[in-house]
Structure 1
Amino acid sequence: MTIMINRRLMLGGIAAATLGGSSLALAQSRTGGTINQMHAGQALMGYDPVAYFAGTAVAGREDLTVARNGGTYRFATAQNRDAFQSNPARYEPQFGGFCAWGVANGKLFSIDPVAGWEVRDNKLFVFFNAGVMGLWRAERSTLLARAEQNWPRLNA
């Protein structure tokens, strides 16, 4: 007996399980041109974007902030805030801080700023959770191309 498995259905099932099978993960259908601010207007759920480039997820402070693209970034140190202000494009997350895997699949998901992130090629990518990040890593080049194709439509 031969069993045929449809790869798309299998990945869809894995994704549903990884996302907890919840449609609540989908919080919006378009960005309106602003960054992911699903967490009370805080970009990256209040985590310091510069700290990721040093290899760690660090919560930012309420008194060290920069407003940009419709949201507020927080920073752990004044040095990180100053670095961001001098070159925000270097530190801002890709796809407006929405889950990169979700963007590749035409959806805007929030993120887990501690377990769902990676810096690759000097760019910050964030993900719904570690499981979804694993799906991204398994097919990074294909998913990145799809995300880049979908982003202009989602960022409208």
Structure 2
Amino acid sequence: MNNYFIKASLIFVLMTLISVSYAQKAEVFSQNDKAIKGYDPVAYFTDSKPVLGKDEFKFTQNGANWYFSSKENLELFKANPSKYMPQYGGYCAFGLAGGYKAPISPDAWTIVDDKLYLNYNKKVQTDWTADRAEMIKKADKNWPTVKKDK
């Protein structure tokens, strides 16, 4: 009986470590199991502002739960996810230019050439915008390697 408890505990610890390790390697920035903090990626294009998604309009894509503010936005996303997904899995574009993943603020965003870029905060967004073309070039180069990092 005691041996069973020890084995079960070890299996639980091992599974927890594996799941934590996998979660940290996520290619999509999620917080509380919500991609880009639960904001509607389509709304940045259609409403020109960040809009919090609703639980009833949830869709799983690329291993992440995406939330939408309306059924229409959900359908637009389903029809063409790559058009609406933020660049670099929704991680901060400035961070990616520097070679690392960083969280984002939904209010610090830019659309460039029909692509959504998110930043850590408004200050970082200002720094990113100052040399945006070069930042995008660096982040594009770094993303294939960094996307698997913890």
Aligned positions of 1:125-136 closer than 5 A? 125-136=117-128
Displacement after TM superposition at 1:34 (Å): 2.5
TM, length-normalised to structure 2: 0.80
Distance, in Å, in 2 between the alignment partners of 1:86 and 1:147 is: 27
SS at match of 2:105: coil
**1:18-65 CA-partner distances (Å, limit 9, x unpaired):** xxxxxxxxxx9x96353111x112111000000000201100001101
Q: How many residues align?
A: 126
What's the secondary structure of 1:85's corresponding residue?
helix
Percent of aligned positions that are identical = 34
1:140 maps to 2:135: no
Provide the residue aligned with 1:49 in structure 2.
41
Looking at structure 2, the residues matched to 34 and 151 of structure 1 have their Cα atoms a distance apart, in angstroms, of: 10
- Paired residue secondary structure (1:137): helix
CA distance in 1, matches of 2:49, 2:103: 19
Who wins on radius of gyration, i.e. which is larger? Answer: 2
SS at match of 1:74: strand
Structure 1: gaps (5+ residues): 1-27
SS at 1:56 equivalent: coil
Q: Which structure has more helix as a fraction of its residues?
A: 2
- The structure 1 segments of at least 4 consecutive aligned residues displaced by more than 2 Å after TM superposition are 30-34
Q: Look up the match of 1:103.
A: 96
> Unpaired runs of 5+ in structure 2?
1-20
